[in-house]
Structure 1
Amino acid sequence: MATPDTTSATTPSHALVVGSVALFTDMLVHGLAVPVLPLLPSVVARGPAATGVLFSAYAAAMIVSTLFAGRVVDRRGPRMPLLIGLVGLAVATPLFATGGPYWLLLVARLAQGVAGGMSWVAALSLIAATTSLERRGQAMGIAMSTITLGVLIGPPLSGFMVERLGTAAPFLLAAAVALADGMLRILLVKDSPRVTDDTAGPRQVLRVPGSAAIVTAIAIGAGVLSAVEPVLPVHLGAGSLLIGLLFALASLAAILANPVVGRCVATAPPRLLIGSGVATASASLALIGWADRLWQTGVAMALLGVSSALLLAPATTLIGEQGLRVDPPTLGGSYALYNLAYAAGLSLGPLLAGLGVQRAGFTAAMTTGAVLLVAVGGTVLPGLPRTVP
C-alpha cells in the first residue's frame, strides 16, 4: 500500500491544486487552438493534410515527452518535469500569437506537446506521491475532471475572442493563464516527492491480458473527436465562434454523459458500453460527413461527445483494474499507459482525417472513418473483460 512521503513539504491539497491547474491549463490551451489554427491563412494555404499534421504534432510530441517524463519523475521527482512543462508553454503561446508562418506554428505545437507530456505525468505523479492510496482515486478523479473543463471552455471562448479581438487574443490569454499556473508550480511545490509504491510501468500493465483491447478503446475515444478538429472548420466555412460552440456542444454532451455512464460501469458489461461507444462514434462520423444542415452537424457533435463518455469511462476504470493485476500492483503504470494511449489517439485522429480529406474529400473521409471504426471495434470487443473486476 502507498504511503505519502512524510518528509515532503508539499501537502496533498497543494499537490491536488497544482496538478489540477496544470492539467486544466494544458487542455485549455489545446481547446483555444481548435477554432483558430485551421482558419489561419498560413495553415489554409498548406491544405487539409498539413492541417492534420499540425494538430497531430501536439500528441506526437506528448508521447515522446511522456516517456522521458516518466524517467525524470522516477529519478528526481515531479518538480523538474513541471518546470520543464512550464517552459514549453512559455515558448508555445507567444509563437501561436504570431499567426504564422506554418513552420513556426508547427514548432509551437511541438513545444505545447512537450509541455503537455511533462505536465500530465508530473501532475499525476505529484498527486500520487502525496496522497494515500485510499484517497488517491478521488483525488485523481478531481484532477482528470479539470481536463474536460478545459476542453469545454477553450473552443467557445477562443471563438468569441477571435471575432471580437483578433486571432492573437486567445493565445495572449493562454500566456496569462500559463503564467498564473507557473506561479502555483513554483510556490506550492517546495520539494519533489517520489512515489514509493508504483514500481511497475506501462509496459507491465500492457502485458496483462485484456489491456491491449482497453488501450485501443482509449485511443479510439481520444482519436474520434480530435479527427474532426482540423477538418470541420474549413468544411463548414463558419466563423470561429460557431466552430467553438460546436466543439463545446460535444464537450458538454460528454460531461453530461460521463456520470450516467460511470454509474453503469459497475453493473453493465464493459463490452456493451464500449461497443455502444464504437457504434455511436461511427454513426456520428457518418452524420457529420453527410450533414447538409447546421443542426444535423450539431446533433452529430453531441453524439460524438456521448460516444467519448461510452468509450473512456469504462476504459478508465478497466485500465486501473489492470494495474492491480500486475505483481507488484501499480497505479502509476496504469495512468502512464492511459496517457500514452490517449496521446496516440490525439495523434492518429487528425493525421488520418487530414490525409483522408485531402485525397478523397470530406464526406468520403468521414464515411471511411465510420466504417473503419466498426471494423476496429469488432476486433477490440472480444478482448475486453466480460465484467468489471
Structure 2
Amino acid sequence: MLDGELDKKLLDEERKSKDGEGFSDGEVAGWPIIVFTGLALFADYCCLTAIIPIVPLVFTEIDSTYIFILFASKSMVQIVANPIAGLVVDKGNPPLIFGCSLALLVLATLAFAWGVEIDSKGVGDEWKQFHILIAARSTQGLASAGIMTSGMSTISLATSEDKRGGALGAAMMGVAGGVLMGPPVAGLCAERLGESSVFYGIAGVGCVTLICSLFFYVICPESFEGDGGGEGGGGGGEGEEEEGGGRNSYIDKDVSLWRNGPVVILAFTVATCNMCVAVTEPLIPLFLEGEPFNFNNESIGLTFGVQALCYLLFTPVFGVLSDKQMKTPLMAVGVVCVAGGMGVMFVFKELWSVALGLGMVGMGIAAADTPSMPLLTVLVPPERFGSAMALQDTSVNLGFLIGPLLAIFVGDDVDSFKWLAVATSAFCLFALGVLKKLYISELEITRGAGGRKGGEEEDWRGEERLLNVTA
C-alpha cells in the first residue's frame, strides 16, 4: 500500500513537471538564454535609439530627407535578413547564431562611435559621417535579425506553452530598457562627455554579454537547449521534411506562413502599430526644437523616456496576461492605445499632450507586440519557431521602415505633423476590424488545445491544417 502511494506521488510529480505547473528542468535551465537575450536586446535598442538626440548635433546642413533614410536603413536590412535568419535558426545552431550576431552588434556600435567622433575632432565632413553611420546602422540590422530570431525561438522552445508569454515578456524588457535608456542617456552624454561616449558604453555592455554567454554555454550547454516547445513537441520536423521532399519543401512551407490568414493579420497589426511609433522618431525632435518648446537634446531625450518607461512597465504585464487569457483582445487594446496616443500627441500640440501621447503609444506597443509572440507559437508547430519569430520581427521592422519614409512627405513643415499623425492614427484603427478573424482562429485553436492536452492527437493535426491553409 505504501509502495503504491509512493508510486502515485512520484507519478503526480512527474506529470506536474511535464505539464508546466511548476518549474520544470527545462524552464530552470532556460533562464540564462532569457537573461542574455534580454541584455543583447538592451544593447541593440539602446544603440538604435541613442542616435535620436544626437542627430541634430551631428547633422546641421544635410537635408532632413537623408536623416529619415538613416533612420529607416536598419529596418530595410533587417526585413531582408529576418527570413534568412529564421531558416538558419530552424536548421542550424541557435546559440552559435546568437553569439555571432552579438559580436556583429558590438562592431556596428563601435562604428557608430567612430562616425560621430569625426565631428568632435573638427573634421566637419557631414557626408562622410552620414556614410559611416548608415553603414553602421545597416550592419546593426543584420545583427538584430540574428539576435531576435535565435534568442526568442530558443526561449519559446525552452518554456512550456502556459509560461511562454511571461518568459518572452521578460526578455522583451531588454527592448523596453534600451528604448528607455537610449535617448536620455545619449542626450546627457552628448552634452557632457561627447557624442561618441554613449556608443562606447553600449559596446561594453555587448562585450560583457557576449563573454558571459559564451562562458555559460561552455560550462552549461544544456541551458541553451529547448525541451521541444512544451506540449507540442519538436520531433516532427525531420519526418515532415523527408515526407515533403527535403530542403526545397521546407522553404516552400516557410513561405506559406505569409499565406496563412491568421498569421498575416497578426503581422499586419504589429507592423501598423510600430509604424506609428516610427513616425514619431524623426518628427518629435524637430517638433520639440521649435516654438513654443525650444528643447535642447537633453530635454528631447527625457521626453522620449516617457514612452519608453510605459513600454518597460507594461511589457511584463501583458506578457503575464497573455499566459492567463486570450491574446488577440490584448492586441486590440494595444491598437486603440497607439491610435489614441498619436491623435492626442499632435492635435493639441502642448507639452502635456506630447507626454500623454507618448505614454499611450508606449503602452500600446507593449500590448500589441508582447502577446503576438506567444500567439505565433500557438499558430505554428515548434520546429517552425525560428521562422515565426523572424516573421514577427519582420513585421516590427516593416513598420519602422514605413514610418520614416512617411515622414519624408512632411519634411520640416511642423504644421503638417498633425495631419500625418491623424492619418496614421486612423489607419491604425483599421487593424481592429481585421483582428476579429484572428480572434476566431485563436478561439478555435484554444478549444482544440484542451483536447490535445488530454491526449487527442486530432486537434494538433487540425492546428497544422490551419497553418497550411494557402491562398
TM-score norm. by structure 1 comes to: 0.83
Compute the displacement of 1:110 (Å): 0.3
The answer as to whether partners of 2:82 and 2:149 remain within 8 angstroms in 1 is yes
Query: 3-state DSSP class of the match of 1:230?
Result: helix
Compute the displacement of 1:126 (Å): 4.0
Structure 2 partner of 1:243: 300
When structure 1 is superposed on structure 2, of 27-36 and 70-79 the one drifting more is: 70-79
Match of 1:288 among 342, 345, 357: 345
Query: 3-state DSSP class of the match of 2:282?
Result: coil
Match of 1:214 among 238, 258, 266: 266
The answer as to whether partners of 1:73 and 1:194 remain within 8 angstroms in 2 is no
Compute the displacement of 1:250 (Å): 0.9
The answer as to whether partners of 2:335 and 2:364 remain within 8 angstroms in 1 is yes
Give the letter for the 1:78 counterpart: P
Structure 1 partner of 2:50: 32
CA distance in 1, matches of 2:421, 2:321: 30
Structure 1 vs Structure 2: percent identity of aligned residues? Answer: 24
> Where does the alignment leave 5 or more consecutive residues of structure 1 unmatched?
3-10
Structure 2 partner of 1:20: 38
Question: 1:122 and 1:267, CA in 2 relative to 1: closer, same or farther beyond 3 A?
Answer: closer
Structure 1 partner of 2:68: 52
Q: Does 1:168 align with 2:196?
A: yes
Compute the displacement of 1:93 (Å): 1.7
Q: Does 1:230 align with 2:258?
A: no
The answer as to whether partners of 2:112 and 2:196 remain within 8 angstroms in 1 is yes
CA distance in 1, matches of 2:68, 2:74: 11
The answer as to whether partners of 1:159 and 1:244 remain within 8 angstroms in 2 is yes
CA distance in 1, matches of 2:97, 2:91: 11
Q: Does 1:143 align with 2:176?
A: no
CA distance in 2, matches of 1:143, 1:54: 27
Structure 2 partner of 1:306: 363
Matches within 5 A, 1:212-361: 212-237=264-289, 238-258=295-315, 261=318, 270=328, 273-323=330-380, 330-357=384-411, 361=416
Structure 1 partner of 2:119: none
Question: 1:104 and 1:83, CA in 2 relative to 1: closer, same or farther beyond 3 A?
Answer: same
The answer as to whether partners of 1:23 and 1:123 remain within 8 angstroms in 2 is no
Question: 1:61 and 1:184, CA in 2 relative to 1: closer, same or farther beyond 3 A?
Answer: farther
Give the letter for the 2:357 counterpart: A
Question: 1:88 and 1:168, CA in 2 relative to 1: closer, same or farther beyond 3 A?
Answer: same
Give the letter for the 1:299 counterpart: L
When structure 1 is superposed on structure 2, of 101-110 and 126-135 the one drifting more is: 126-135
CA distance in 1, matches of 2:439, 2:365: 19
When structure 1 is superposed on structure 2, of 120-129 and 51-60 the one drifting more is: 120-129
Matches within 5 A, 1:178-217: 178-190=206-218, 197=234, 199=237, 203-217=255-269
Query: 3-state DSSP class of the match of 2:261?
Result: coil
Give the letter for the 1:319 counterpart: L
Compute the displacement of 1:136 (Å): 5.3
Structure 1 partner of 2:420: 365
Compute the displacement of 1:290 (Å): 3.1
CA distance in 1, matches of 2:58, 2:45: 24
CA distance in 2, matches of 1:307, 1:107: 31
C-alpha offsets along residues 245-278 of structure 1, whole Å, 9 cap, x if unaligned? 222111222333445656765557835x544433
Question: 1:92 and 1:298, CA in 2 relative to 1: closer, same or farther beyond 3 A?
Answer: same
CA distance in 2, matches of 1:334, 1:203: 11
Structure 1 partner of 2:88: 72
Question: 1:345 and 1:236, CA in 2 relative to 1: closer, same or farther beyond 3 A?
Answer: same
Give the letter for the 2:35 counterpart: V
Query: 3-state DSSP class of the match of 2:409?
Result: helix
Number of equivalences: 376
Question: 1:12 and 1:367, CA in 2 relative to 1: closer, same or farther beyond 3 A?
Answer: closer
The answer as to whether partners of 2:46 and 2:178 remain within 8 angstroms in 1 is yes
> Where does the alignment leave 5 or more consecutive residues of structure 2 unmatched?
1-17, 20-28, 117-125, 229-233, 238-249, 290-294, 447-471
TM-score norm. by structure 2 comes to: 0.70
CA distance in 2, matches of 1:65, 1:171: 24
Query: Larger Cα Rg: Structure 1 or Structure 2?
Result: 2
Structure 2 partner of 1:5: none
Query: 3-state DSSP class of the match of 1:210?
Result: helix
CA distance in 2, matches of 1:383, 1:129: 27
Question: 1:90 and 1:373, CA in 2 relative to 1: closer, same or farther beyond 3 A?
Answer: same
Question: 1:183 and 1:52, CA in 2 relative to 1: closer, same or farther beyond 3 A?
Answer: same
CA distance in 2, matches of 1:71, 1:276: 32
Structure 2 partner of 1:114: 142
CA distance in 1, matches of 2:30, 2:313: 28
The answer as to whether partners of 1:48 and 1:231 remain within 8 angstroms in 2 is no
The answer as to whether partners of 1:357 and 1:365 remain within 8 angstroms in 2 is no
The answer as to whether partners of 1:25 and 1:177 remain within 8 angstroms in 2 is yes
CA distance in 1, matches of 2:409, 2:93: 40
The answer as to whether partners of 2:90 and 2:386 remain within 8 angstroms in 1 is no
C-alpha offsets along residues 274-329 of structure 1, whole Å, 9 cap, x if unaligned? 44433332232233223432222111111211222342344344333222xx5x77
CA distance in 2, matches of 1:293, 1:350: 23
Query: 3-state DSSP class of the match of 1:35?
Result: helix
C-alpha offsets along residues 73-95 of structure 1, whole Å, 9 cap, x if unaligned? 34430243234323422332232
CA distance in 1, matches of 2:87, 2:384: 16
Give the letter for the 1:16 counterpart: I
Output the aligned Cα RMSD: 3.4
Query: 3-state DSSP class of the match of 2:68?
Result: helix
Question: 1:202 and 1:225, CA in 2 relative to 1: closer, same or farther beyond 3 A?
Answer: farther
